[in-house]
Amino acid sequence: MLKPSEIRELGQEEVRKRIDEEEDQLRRLHFQHAIAQIENPALLRQKRRLLARLKTILREQQNEV
């Protein structure tokens, strides 16, 4: 899991790319969870929080410019 300080070091394009990747992974996890139990259900919560963290920092970076 990325720390906020590590995310802030990334450029805006890199953050957008990570957001797309995390959203895709979260969609796949939701699908797997709907079909059968996933090994670590807490992973859904971690992905959601990471996605929110990425979006928040992207918004901060856009407001700085």
Task: Decide if 3 is inside a domain.
Answer: no
Which pLDDT value is given to residue 42?
94
Count up the domains in the chain and report the number.
1
Class of residue 43 by CB neighbours under 10 A (exposed 0-12, middle 13-18, buried 19+):
middle
d(CA 50, CA 54): 6
Task: Decide if 4 is inside a domain.
Answer: no
Tens-binned pLDDT, residue by residue, of the chain (65 aa): 889 999 999 999 999 999 999 999 999 999 999 999 889 989 999 999 999 999 999 999 999 87
Here the CATH number for the domain that contains residue 24 is: 1.10.287
Task: Decide if 26 is inside a domain.
Answer: yes
Task: Decide if 5 is inside a domain.
Answer: no
d(CA 46, CA 65): 29
What is the domain extent for residue 34?
10-64
Task: Decide if 1 is inside a domain.
Answer: no
Task: Decide if 29 is inside a domain.
Answer: yes
0.85 surpassed by pTM: yes
